[in-house]
């Protein structure tokens, strides 16, 4: 899905900050334009880590086809992202007491520096050039008057992250902590947070429990997915139940968020490739009901939720219940679609590309405000 940023010739340097390696690159017109530079993170030694970050960006700058106009990347939190200050990190223990990483890079390279959470940038990328324009494009093609402006997204991998885009703007909250879906309650284990039911280790743990094996012997989710499809040896029923449980927990957490956000929802992350085995349960949870004191049942979400990866549900979602109604006092008519509905689907860009596009788009948008 093309966006205006795909014709923008400005170069922005980026960083994929992992717990093991830092991968540096540069983007122009929404595509990488410099060979990636990879440097071990060495996050236990702050001085060395900061020197490595400067070195990585220096190497990339030398490879850029034009002088970069900004630096924009995702970095772990907690952090004061608007001010570029990183807090105490778990995977990078050298960061303690507040580290002004953004201001340091801005002073070193003489260009604006923007830092965000990876979940936020994933959703921003999908809102700018992925899932959101994809769905709105399908609605337009179907002749529907319905359009969406808000997007909530989650990533399921090592952890369970989230982000919110409202009307084209990334919503990060007053403490840079909006969209922290991992801290919602775990429906299936009320004493735990949602992340423990919606990530890689959650799938492995559930499979091990149902298969009667130690957690250490449980395979990775990709293998468990193959077991569930009958394409690898193992306990098929246990594999299917592991992903069903993930869908239920993730669906419950997303339901809490969508109650407040009222927008489309997109899913990415390392576990997302197994969506055929968890997405139906996730959508079922979103469409579940509450029971009142008198036994009356009512929808958990006011809007009906559709699985947009299912062809039949996508067709109904696009069609809606559009009709023409007469404007009172005139003979003129207007289209009206009374079906309140939301849709859930998978990343259209891929998680890494969505984060990169999000970082690039965020930098250009911020530069336009200066």
| Within-domain flag for 216 | yes
- Spell out, as residue ranges, where the chain has pLDDT lower than 50: 1
Residue ranges of the alpha helices (H) in 142-228?
200-211, 221-228
- 163 with 237, same domain: the answer is yes
Beta-sheet pairing, 21-28 with 31-32: antiparallel
CB-CB neighbours of 141 under 10 Å: 9
**Rounded to an integer, what distance in angstroms lies between the CA atom of residue 310 and that of residue 292?**
31
Phi-psi domain of 197 (left: phi exceeds 0; alpha: psi -120 through 50; beta: other): alpha
Whole-number Å distance between alpha carbons of 249 and 243? 10
Do the domain assignments include residue 196?
Answer: yes
The DSSP H or E segment spanning 148 is: none
Q: Bridge-partner residues for 327, per DSSP?
A: none
In a domain, 19, yes or no: yes
The upper half-sphere exposure of residue 250, i.e. CA atoms within 13 Å in the direction of its Cβ, equals 37
Q: What is the pLDDT of residue 3?
A: 65
Tell the residue number behind the tokens 């717990």, with chain if given: 19
DSSP 193: B
Distances in Å between the alpha carbon of 248 and those of 39, 204, 277, 278, 343? 38, 16, 11, 8, 17
Of 116, 149, 175, the residue at which a domain comes to its end is 116
**Strand locations in 219-340 (E):** 264-268, 289-291, 297-299, 304-307, 323-326, 333-336
Q: What is the pLDDT of residue 21?
A: 84
- CA angle (124, 125, 127) in 5-degree steps: 65
Residues 226 and 343 in one domain: yes
- Residue 73 and residue 164 in one domain: no
- Token pair 């891929």 is found at 350
Domain count within the chain: 2
**Residue 153 domain-assigned (yes or no):** yes
Same domain, 30 and 103: yes
- Is residue 361 a part of any domain in this protein? no
* Residue written as token pair 């983007």: 27
Whether 20 is in a domain gets the answer yes
Residues 146 and 243 in one domain: yes
Check residue 2 and give its pLDDT: 56
Query: Do 92 and 196 reside in the same domain of the chain?
Result: no
In a domain, 271, yes or no: yes
Question: Domain check: are 179 and 305 in the same one?
Answer: yes
CATH number at residue 176: 3.30.420.40
Same domain, 138 and 101: no
User: Do 157 and 190 belong together in one domain?
Assistant: yes
**Does residue 360 fall inside a structural domain?**
no
Do residue 233 and residue 337 come from a single domain?
A: yes
Q: Which of 116, 151, 174 is the last residue of a domain?
A: 116
Does 154 share its domain with 289? yes
- Residue 370 is predicted with a pLDDT of 63
Identify whether residues 198 and 58 lie together within a single domain.
Answer: no
Rounded to 5 degrees, φ, ψ at 194 are -60, -30
Provide the domain limits for residue 104. Answer: 4-116
User: Is residue 156 within 8 Å of 251, Cβ to Cβ?
Assistant: no
Tell me how far apart the alpha carbons of residues 93 and 37 are, in angstroms, rounded to a whole number. Answer: 23
């Amino acid at each position: 899905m093309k966006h205006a940023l795909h014709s923008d010739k400005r170069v922005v340097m980026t960083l994929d900050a992992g717990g093991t390696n830092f991968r540096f690159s540069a983007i122009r017109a929404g595509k990488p334009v410099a060979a990636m530079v990879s440097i071990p993170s060495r996050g236990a030694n702050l001085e060395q880590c900061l020197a490595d970050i400067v070195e990585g960006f220096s190497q990339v700058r030398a490879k850029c086809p034009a002088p970069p106009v900004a630096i924009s990347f995702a970095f772990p939190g907690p952090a004061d992202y608007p001010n570029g200050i990183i807090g105490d990190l778990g995977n990078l223990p050298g960061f303690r007491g507040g580290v002004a990483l953004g201001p340091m890079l801005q002073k070193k390279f003489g260009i604006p520096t923007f830092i965000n959470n990876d979940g936020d940038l994933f959703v921003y990328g999908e809102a700018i050039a992925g899932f959101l324009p994809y769905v709105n494009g399908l609605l337009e093609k179907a002749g529907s008057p319905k359009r969406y402006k808000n997007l909530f997204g989650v990533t399921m991998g090592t952890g369970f992250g989230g982000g919110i885009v409202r009307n084209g703007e990334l919503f990060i909250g007053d403490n840079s902590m909006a969209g922290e879906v991992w801290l919602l309650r775990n429906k299936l284990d009320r004493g735990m947070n949602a992340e423990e039911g919606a990530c890689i280790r959650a799938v492995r743990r559930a499979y091990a429990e149902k298969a009667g094996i130690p957690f250490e012997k449980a395979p990775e989710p990709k293998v468990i997915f193959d077991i569930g499809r009958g394409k690898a040896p193992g306990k098929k029923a246990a594999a299917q139940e592991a992903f069903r449980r993930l869908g239920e927990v993730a669906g419950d957490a997303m339901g809490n968020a969508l109650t407040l956000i009222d927008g489309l929802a997109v899913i990415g992350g390392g576990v997302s490739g197994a969506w055929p085995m968890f997405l139906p349960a996730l959508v079922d949870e979103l469409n579940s009901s509450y029971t009142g004191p008198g036994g009356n049942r009512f929808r958990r979400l006011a809007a009906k939720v559709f699985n947009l990866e299912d062809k039949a549900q996508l067709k109904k979602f696009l069609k809606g219940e559009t009709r023409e109604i007469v404007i009172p006092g005139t003979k003129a008519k207007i289209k009206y679609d009374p079906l309140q509905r939301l849709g859930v689907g998978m990343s259209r860009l891929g998680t890494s590309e969505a984060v990169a596009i999000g970082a690039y788009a965020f930098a250009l948008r911020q530069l336009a405000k200066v």
